[in-house]
Structure 1
Amino acid sequence: MTTASHGVRTLHVSRVHLVAVGSAVSVSRAFVRQTLAHWKLSDYAPDCALMMSELVSNAVKETGFADRQPKSWEITAAHVVAVQLRAIGEVLYVEVWDRSPLVPVKQEVTAEAEGGRGLHLVEALAKDWGIYRPPAGGKIVWAMVPLASLPSPSLDGPTLQLRMPDGVTPPPGPVKQQASTALMQRVLDGLRQLL
């Protein structure tokens, strides 16, 4: 029996805020692998990590320092991206928030092109994807993946806290709150759709 036959929906959410630098891409992949392993969904990690890294790479290009490692004094609240994994029942969402109002555009790709394949990969791996404009501002680019089984994390307290290397999260402040609010709005909208 599936969850749909019982009308039961579980909700699992995990997010992290990152400074929009090149290393955010590899940190976001590690976040996906660690979270999905904890949720006992490791089979989905390769595809979801690839989608997350493509979306984070786009966000870093739009709002951060894609071409170089900035000096610490150059990093401001404007250079924050937030990544989130959200499972509602048997559907997993890979989500990336950034402050830029610009919508990512699928580029026409030729055999000679060195880049521009990111959204094509997301489209190929996800059942659906899109852009959400939360009331808190910025945008969330999301990708949806159907799950064959429900997440089943062990509830052992300390392992529920995601541990990230020192220095990869931005300081608390208005942009971090804006990102958290935007992602939570997306969760609430998803829950409303279930009603």
Structure 2
Amino acid sequence: MRLVDAEQGCGQARDFVRRALGDWALDHCSADALMVVTELAANAVLHAAPHATARSSAAGEPEIWLKLSLRRPAHLVCAVTDPSDSPPVYPHTSDPLDEHGRGLRIIDALSEHWGWTRRQPFGKTVWAMLPTGREV
């Protein structure tokens, strides 16, 4: 799903996740998946915005895509693609009063694995794998 704009992107992402998990009978995964997708989408919107002019849609918005997939029945993969070539930065130290810098820590805490992949000719996909509680 393409996230249309920065102001509504996180809300669109959450609605998409709720619908998909409901369709897949994975409602029990929704709390963690919603948090992870919100953080992935917020990071993409925040960090892709500087690249929007050179790598944007016809409307001038950065191209940000959300994809959910099941990797076998045991894992849900949440992935967000944005036009930024900069890798995600996991903060080594964080002041509890900082406004920013907790997103990847949250993703790390809620997922079994997370990472990122460089895209060609530009951009990246940041993904997180969450357990569904189903057997393989």
Sort the TM-score into its range (normalised by shorter chain): 0.7 to 0.9
Q: Distance in 2 between matches of 1:136 and 1:148?
A: 36
- From 51, 65, 79, the equivalent of 1:82 is 65
Aligned: 1:102 with 2:86 = yes
Could you say which residue in structure 2 is the equivalent of 1:163?
A: none
Gaps of 5+ in 2: 51-57
Match of 1:169 in 2: none
How far the C-alpha of 1:80 sits from its partner, in A, is 1.5
Q: Larger Rg: 1 or 2?
A: 1
**Shift of residue 147, structure 1, vs aligned partner:** 2.1
Where does structure 1 lack aligned partners over 5 or more consecutive residues?
1-15, 66-73, 151-195
Once the two structures are superposed, the pairs formed by residues 124-143 of structure 1 within 5 Å of their partners are 124-135=109-120, 137-143=122-128
1:113–1:34 Cα change, 3 Å? same
Distance of 2:35 and 2:96 partners within structure 1: 20
TM-score by length of 2: 0.84
Question: How far off its partner does 1:26 sit?
Answer: 1.3
Q: TM-score, normalised by structure 1?
A: 0.60
Runs of 4+ aligned residues of structure 1 deviating over 6 Å after TM superposition are: none
Number of matched residues? 126
- What letter matches 2:64 in structure 1? V
Structure 1 contact 32–45 (Cα < 8 Å) conserved: yes
Q: What are the residue-to-residue correspondences of 1:42-57 with 2, within 5 Å?
A: 42-57=27-42
The DSSP-based 3-state class of the residue aligned with 2:33 is helix
The match for 1:93 among 74, 77, 82 is 77
2-structure distance, mates of 1:64, 1:137:
14
Per the TM alignment, residue 136 of structure 1 is displaced from its structure 2 partner at its CA by 5.1
Instruction: State the identity as a percent.
Output: 31
- Per the TM alignment, residue 123 of structure 1 is displaced from its structure 2 partner at its CA by 0.1
Structure 1 residue 113: Cα displacement: 1.2
Question: Once the two structures are superposed, what CA deviation does each residue of 1:5-60 show, in whole Å capped at 9, x if it has no partner?
Answer: xxxxxxxxxxx011341210111011111100110000101111110010110110
How large is the RMSD of aligned CA atoms in angstroms?
A: 1.9
Alpha-carbon distance, 1:88 to partner: 1.9
**Cα deviation, residue 63, structure 1:** 1.9
Counterpart of 1:102 in structure 2: which amino acid?
Answer: S
Cα offsets for 1:86-118 (capped at 9, x unmatched): 102122100000011011212231122122110
Classify 1:20/1:101 alpha carbon distance in 2 versus 1 (closer, same or farther; 3 Å).
farther
Q: Which secondary structure state, in structure 1, belongs to the residue aligned with residue 13 of structure 2?
A: helix
Distance 1:59 1:96 in 2: 7
CA distance in 2, matches of 1:20, 1:62: 13
